Structure 1
Amino acid sequence: MTEHATTSDKRLSRATAIAWLWRRLSRWPLPRLWRFASTLGPLVYCFSRRERNVTDINLKVVYPALDQRKRRALAKQSLRHSTATMMELGYAWMAEPDRVEASIVEVHGRDKLDSARAQGRGVIVLAPHFGNWEVLNFWLSSHFPFTAMYEPPKITNLEPIIRHGRERMGAQLVPTNPRGVAALLKALKRSEAIGILPDQEPDWGSGVFAPFYSRDAYTATLLPKLVARTQARVVTGVALRLPGRGFAIHFLDADERVYSADETESASGVNASVEASIALEPAQYQWEYKRYRKVIEEQQQNPNANDFRLY
């Protein structure tokens, strides 16, 4: 057996095990999933050094006035919610649609989407990594023609399962390339809704540095291009977890700067919009993501640039 075949077999076995776990957990009621996450969360904080360290650093940057004891408590709560999100993936992708729909017990701000579409305008939903964004995708694609960009998982054998889960209520997934951008533009011109992840670091050359909690973070500039060509409205959308009960969907007006033709100004509005959603409940944001990652290319091109390395 070749080394390549051995690696492929290991990936297939891993994918099979993960898919089995998702199916198993999809049958669990939400209160049980939350209890399970509440048990695992403290273990993640204790034994997952990378997630703990990145979360602690991010919280120290964005909440400098918070004392160490309160920051540590917030970090533990955050990792509990992130664990819950992972436990709920099978639920969002594989549970009976009626069950998932019934678990969405509140929807706030739907009128912002309905009003824009009634005016013949598309809607760009900024969907940060907050609460359970897969439940948000479920609701959006259940109620509106909805298109979102999609990047295949590193474990390629899981792609059909993840793709089916995200598309099962009618969502259209498009690649993260010019063809995908063209599909987003067409959807907006049809007065449909599209989803954008506003808090992932883009490829070099596809973003600008803009403040996120008063410290510069590399931020994508796709949004002003889409707005300029379609006159779409922009809202922030999240699925807030109500532990043991379900979820509350919130749509918030985006910061007005997102409509600026200036890319840095627009990116600043995007980050401010993410901050506003985090304010709903800071513990539900995925703080273990390296939002302030050092961009080596920036330092190579500009030796006097600020040092963004925190991690």
Structure 2
Amino acid sequence: MLFLFRVLSILPLWLLHLLGWWMGWLTFLASPTYRRRFLANLAQAGYRLREVHQAVGHAGRMVSELPRLWLGGPVRLEWDNEACIEAAYQAGQGIVFLTPHIGCFEVTAQAVAARYGAQYGLLTVMFRPARQPWLAEVVASSRHRPGLDTAPTTLAGVRKMLKAMRRGQAVGLLPDQVPPEGQGLWAPFFGREAYTMTLAARLAQQGGATVLLAWGERLAWGRGYRLHFRGLARPLAPDLAQAVLQINGEMEQLVRECPQQYLWGYARYKQPRKETVDV
């Protein structure tokens, strides 16, 4: 599979996105379970499929673009409000980058690490380890690059993120990712209770770190990505439960700005899994 990824990585981005569009619709039409969850999540947020039907194709593009991003040449990037990143690094208290499952979050982490890693230190991003051995091999060979470090969604990974914050470095994570049992709180997301990680708020409360919202907008016709950055609408609440609720609200706002690129098929309202390994 690594060989296949290398072959796909040489294809132009527009072609990969076209293949991803077909992949997204094929999955939507062929999987009743996925389709029901997709439509239920849309309805929970107040949308109908005809309003955001582009999201079906974008879900497939999220997968099809990975060979190029992991193993291929550079892609075209546009930066929106990057001045807030420089200001946050200059503050010296660390940065917590937050993004929901929207657009291309892979390219956002790569771009920040490449541009700022040499001067300000590693960007540590949290990810869920792949269950398939072949995919784990691909991920391991692609995500370890200059300026970028990774932490798994385990207790060991949580400790790694906390240590990075204590060093005044930057970390990145998806706060709408369902955490393991015991690492979250139940809080409303689009009006329905969802098990929500507390780690994002805890990291931000470590020594006055700056919280920045970030997401990579997928541009049409394979023209690359536009990277969006901004701070919170108001300072993060000191109370943990209130901070979790506030972050959920910020994620909702980001999604509503571009619902066509949100991963509506993600099982956001599932029960948390039990954490059995603590290395």
What TM-score comes out, normalization by structure 2 length? 0.88
Structure 2: 5+ residue runs without aligned partners? 117-121, 275-279
Q: How does 1:145-184 map to 2 (within 5 A)?
A: 145-184=122-161
Per the TM alignment, residue 230 of structure 1 is displaced from its structure 2 partner at its CA by: 2.1
Q: Is 2:52–2:259's contact at 8 Å kept on the other side of the alignment? A: no
In the aligned structure 2, how far is the partner of 1:74 from the partner of 1:188? Answer: 40
- AA paired with 2:43? K
Q: Which moved more, 1:278-287 or 1:223-232?
A: 223-232
In the aligned structure 1, how far is the partner of 2:35 from the partner of 2:24? Answer: 11
Per the TM alignment, residue 294 of structure 1 is displaced from its structure 2 partner at its CA by: 4.9
- AA paired with 2:228? H
In the aligned structure 2, how far is the partner of 1:39 from the partner of 1:188? Answer: 41
Q: Is 2:125–2:173's contact at 8 Å kept on the other side of the alignment? A: yes
1:60 aligns with 2:43: yes
1:72 aligns with 2:49: yes
Per the TM alignment, residue 34 of structure 1 is displaced from its structure 2 partner at its CA by: 2.1
- AA paired with 2:56? L
Per the TM alignment, residue 125 of structure 1 is displaced from its structure 2 partner at its CA by: 0.4
**Higher RCO structure, 1 or 2 (CA under 8 Å, sep 6+):** 2
Which residue pairs with 1:24 in the alignment?
7
1:93 aligns with 2:65: no
Which residue pairs with 2:102 in the alignment?
130
Which residue pairs with 1:283 in the alignment?
260
Q: How does 1:184-203 map to 2 (within 5 A)?
A: 184-203=161-180
Identity %, equivalent residues: 31
Query: Cα distance 1:164–1:230, how it changes in 2: closer, same or farther (>3 A)?
Result: farther
Q: How many residues align?
A: 268
Which residue pairs with 2:249 in the alignment?
272
Structure 1: 5+ residue runs without aligned partners? 1-15, 298-311
RMSD in angstroms over aligned alpha carbons?
Answer: 2.1
Higher helix share: 1
- AA paired with 1:256? R
Per the TM alignment, residue 242 of structure 1 is displaced from its structure 2 partner at its CA by: 0.5
Question: How big is each residue's C-alpha offset from its partner over 1:211-258, in whole Å with a ceiling of 9 and x where there is no partner?
Answer: 21122211111123223332101111111100211100001222436x
Q: Which moved more, 1:158-167 or 1:234-243?
A: 158-167
Which residue pairs with 1:228 in the alignment?
205
What TM-score comes out, normalization by structure 1 length? 0.79
In the aligned structure 2, how far is the partner of 1:40 from the partner of 1:20? Answer: 20
Which residue pairs with 2:93 in the alignment?
121
Q: Is 1:255–1:269's contact at 8 Å kept on the other side of the alignment? A: no
Which protein is bigger by CA-based radius of gyration?
A: 1
In the aligned structure 1, how far is the partner of 2:266 from the partner of 2:185? Answer: 18
